[in-house]
Amino acid sequence: MQNLISIRDLEKADIVHYLETATRIESGEIVPDMGDQLAALLFFEPSTRTRFSFETAMKRMGGRTLFMDGTTSTSAKKGESFADTLMTISMYSDIIVIRSAVEGSARYAAETVDIPVINAGDGANQHPTQALLDLYSVRKTQGGLENLTIGLIGDLKFGRTVHSLVQALASFSPRFYFVSPPHLRMPEDICTDLTAHGGQYTEVTDPESIIGELDLMYVTRIQRERFADPEDYERVKDSYVIDSSMLKGVKTNFKVFHPLPRVNEISTDVDGTEYAYYFQQAKNGVVMREAIISILLGDAS
């Protein structure tokens, strides 16, 4: 049974296969037909973008979706076990997409049911479909994945998208700059994994000092609630806002990425520049998810 649970499960060749399939779907070379397939979207945690892009992907391929809003659904309230909910849903559908705050829930789901499972985010752990769409966007804008210089900026401690992205790019000889407030630094185990796979990183606190070297900058939101002291937040928040004045002197291939939603960490005056890529990045999520679903349901040839 094929599943997509964690970027850590994927070999370099698997990643390339996902990206190639998305490219071939986007170009029209492959037209997956999900006419008789039904995807169950189990969202135990609120999400707009991820849910919509999975629904869009499935519907564009002619398939249908069932949506279970786990945050208000009845079965858990009646005391049904998570395993029983999963088993029942798997009797109705061909593939399960699961989003939950509980870390490891997608892997547990995959071990419980006999249909493919896609992890659409499990707490602070993994968000592999986001990582793959990010890689797809990187490859589209940079022409490849090897030897890139990438700045990750914002909350690097709790942001699962940056963790998955570092893991996904680790085997492609990247050079990372990690830019964050001191207490929101990239976790040590992610850094260790990165260097073990041949990647490099440098930690800096000022994004302007390195922006000229970057092929792309991946910006994430710094959440006020991560700070114990509100004054600390006020002190650092503006150091991590990207505006158009900072983009003078960047490389010609430079792009700004963001997993969205954004609050104020990228000034809207960047939106109209040639460097803004975040909305296109969100759009790429649909074709990437079409590729993922069709590979897992065996219709990507």
**Residues carrying an active site annotation:** 49-50, 78, 99, 127
Whole-angstrom CA distances from 204 to 40, 186, 197 are: 42, 11, 21
Taking the least distance from each CB to another protein, the nearer of 113 and 179 is: 113
Taking the least distance from each CB to another protein, the nearer of 66 and 83 is: 83
| 126 scored as a contact of another protein (CB under 8 A) | yes
> Do the beta carbons of residue 242 and residue 265 sit within 8 Å?
yes
Give dist(CA 267, CA 151) in Å, integer.
Answer: 17
| 87 scored as a contact of another protein (CB under 8 A) | no
> Do the beta carbons of residue 42 and residue 73 sit within 8 Å?
no
CB of 77 to another protein, least distance (A): 16
Give dist(CA 91, CA 167) in Å, integer.
Answer: 34
| 83 scored as a contact of another protein (CB under 8 A) | yes
Binding mask 97-116 for another protein (x = CB under 8 A): ----xxxxx-xx--------
| 85 scored as a contact of another protein (CB under 8 A) | no
Backbone angle region of 209, left / alpha / beta, with phi > 0 → left and psi within -120 to 50 → alpha: alpha
Residue pointed to by tokens 């999900």: 34
| Residue 261: cis peptide before it, omega within 30 degrees of 0 | yes
Binding mask 63-82 for another protein (x = CB under 8 A): ------------------xx
CB of 97 to another protein, least distance (A): 17
Q: Which residues bind another protein (CB under 8 A)?
A: 6, 8, 81-83, 101-105, 107-108, 122-126, 189
